[in-house]
Amino acid sequence: MGVVVFLIAFVAVSIPLSWAFRAALARLLPRDMAYAAGTMPLTAAFGLMVVGLYVFVALFAPLLAPFPERAVVGSQFQPWDSTHWLGTDRLGRDMLSRLIYGARNTVGIAFATTALAFLVGSLLGIWAALRGGWLDQGLSRFVDALMAIPSLIFSLLLLTIFGTSVLTLILVIAAVDATRVYRIARSVAQGVVVMDYVEAARLRGEGTWYLIRREILPNALAPLVAEFGLRFCFVFLTISSLSFLGLGIQPPTADWGSMVRDNATLITFGDVTPLLPAGAIALLTVAVNFIVDWQLYRASGLKERI
């Protein structure tokens, strides 16, 4: 019953906040962007508002957190009080502070991983579609072989072999997800490389990099941007899952996935504290999907929803 009341209250507060946020964007942004901001659906406005809040918390975590990230400031599993608003964890560290620092660590690493996966996967996919022939076939069959392995199992295997440092985590997950990006980038680019303007640029003697940068990428950007948002969600959830299993971001670094694991025993006693990092993961995932849905709708050329 309490969960239902909370959800109703959350929706009731989110609607006017999203409306006000959309109106503020329409007033503050330049004219060429103001129309798009003013006509976006409330779901997209809510998603942008949540993502902006997460970015703000991640950037200013040392100023917002009441205690240092790794400091033991109380007894273990201390209940909520005026000093520790969300209590303490199993080592006596402040949960609110670690939840705030977790935004910087989890979201920051997920964004860096997604950016690297997109840089490698999209460039290889567009290059393969542009060159064709044995290069396209060789890369595509290699990617097909990697995609046949379940991504989580493959990531667990690689992290077990190469270790669980932050750099290794980024490289492993980026390598696994770059195969998915490669497939969609190649598919989109194949529809662009046959266009007359690409052929005209080839006849002018333009090089491969020029064709990718000036002719193909701008015309394939809309679906790739939407895929970036979806891929970020998958990477974000993968990192949280690996941290929950003990092979992701390693302690004492604050991470939402490991926070759920370390404090899961509190659920037995009716304490909702372990659900807070899980809720933070779910909220960001929903917010990014709202934005992606809006971008896909805009790219489709249909009339904007009010």
Stretch 129-140: mean pLDDT: 87
The model's pTM is 0.83
For residue 143, give both structure tokens.
Answer: 């990617």
Domain range summary for the chain, segments of one domain joined by +: 70-299
3-state secondary structure of 15: helix
The answer on pLDDT for 3 being more than 90 is no
As a whole number, mean pLDDT of residues 215-234 equals 84
Confidence of residue 305 (pLDDT cuts 50, 70, 90): very low
Q: What is the CATH number of domain 70-299?
A: 1.10.3720.10
Within 8 A by CB and 6+ apart from 209, the residues are none
At residue 257, does pLDDT exceed 60? yes
Q: Say if residue 84's pLDDT is above 50.
A: yes
Range scoring the smallest mean pLDDT among 98-107, 181-190, 234-243, 297-306 = 297-306
**Phi, psi dihedrals of residue 69, rounded to the nearest 5°:** -60, -40
CA gap 40, 296 in Å, rounded: 12
Answer whether 252's CB lies under 8 Å from 89's CB.
Answer: no
Identify whether the C-beta of residue 117 lies closer than 8 Å to the C-beta of residue 235.
yes
What value does the mean pLDDT take over residues 43-64? Answer: 91
Q: How far apart are CA 183 and CA 204, in angstroms?
A: 29
Residue 303 has pLDDT above 60, yes or no: no
The band of 30, judged by pLDDT with boundaries at 50, 70 and 90, is: confident
- Rounded to an integer, what distance in angstroms lies between the CA atom of residue 10 and that of residue 4? 10
What pLDDT is stored for residue 210 in this prediction? 85
Whether the pLDDT of residue 302 is over 70: the answer is no
How many other C-beta atoms can be found within 10 angstroms of the C-beta atom of residue 90?
A: 12
How many CB atoms lie under 10 A from the CB of residue 140? 16
pLDDT at position 105:
87
3-class DSSP state for residue 88?
strand
Summarize the confidence of residues 271-299 as an average pLDDT: 85
pLDDT at res. 304: 47
Mean pLDDT of the region 180-202 = 87
- Hey, what are 297's tokens? 């709708």
Q: What pLDDT shows up at residue 2?
A: 57
Task: Report the Cα 101 to chain-centroid distance in Å.
Answer: 17
Which range among 73-82, 123-132, 142-151, 261-270 shows the weakest confidence by mean pLDDT?
261-270
Q: Indicate if the pLDDT at residue 56 is higher than 90.
A: yes
124 pLDDT above the threshold of 80: yes
What are the helix and strand counts (H, E) for the chain? Answer: 14, 0
- pLDDT-derived band at 113, boundaries 50, 70, 90: very high
Checking if the pLDDT of 132 tops 90, the result is no
Residue 116, pLDDT above cutoff 90: yes
What is the reported pLDDT for 5? Answer: 72
Q: Which two tokens stand for residue 257?
A: 């996935």
Q: How confident is the model at residue 306 (pLDDT cuts 50, 70, 90)?
A: very low
Mean pLDDT of the chain: 85
Instruction: Evaluate if residue 1 carries a pLDDT over 70.
Output: no
Question: In the chain, pLDDT over 90 holds for what percent of residues?
Answer: 18
> Which secondary-structure segment (H or E) carries 233?
helix 221-245
Question: What confidence tier does 301 reach under pLDDT thresholds 50, 70, 90?
Answer: low
- Kindly state the average pLDDT of the residues 57-80: 88
DSSP state of 270: T
d(CA 112, CA 300) in angstroms, rounded, equals 28
